[in-house]
Amino acid sequence: MTTPPRIIPILETLAATIEVMPWGVSAIHSCGCVLLWDSRDDADAAIMAAIASDNGGLIVDEATITLPDGRSILGTVLTIDDDLEDFAADIRTAYLCATGPDPGTLENPF
């Protein structure tokens, strides 16, 4: 992996998308890392860390920014010694399962 990206400017850029896409996972090939970010009120760094660990990833940076309207965005930069696209897909699926509504109750599992 090369030097991880500076996460704050990336989160500031993502702020423009949170109305349409409140969370996401992106493989950043130029840095050899994956970005996991969430702007929902219940975003939790511990959940992000657990999912990264469960999937063999390592957290190299994390940050939270507060937007002018009071909302915040939490982001984590992850690395792995494996295919970035596969890792990003695994993280995306695991995070959706961990933070999305339970289909039976429509309640968040955490």
Q: Mind listing the pLDDT tens digit for each residue in 50-69?
A: 999 999 999 999 999 999 99
pLDDT higher than threshold 90 for residue 103: no
Residue 109's pLDDT band (boundaries 50, 70, 90)? very low
Domains and CATH numbers, the chain: 7-81 (3.30.200)
Distance from C-alpha of 72 to C-alpha of 65, rounded to nearest angstrom: 5
The lowest-confidence range among 2-16, 46-60, 68-82 is 2-16
Three-class SS of residue 46?
helix
- Buried-exposed string 5-37: b where 16+ CB fall within 10 A, e elsewhere: bebeebbeebbeebeeebbbbbbbeebebbbbb
Q: Is the pLDDT of residue 78 over 90?
A: yes
Mean pLDDT of 67-83: 92
Compute the mean pLDDT over every residue in the chain, rounded to the nearest whole number: 87
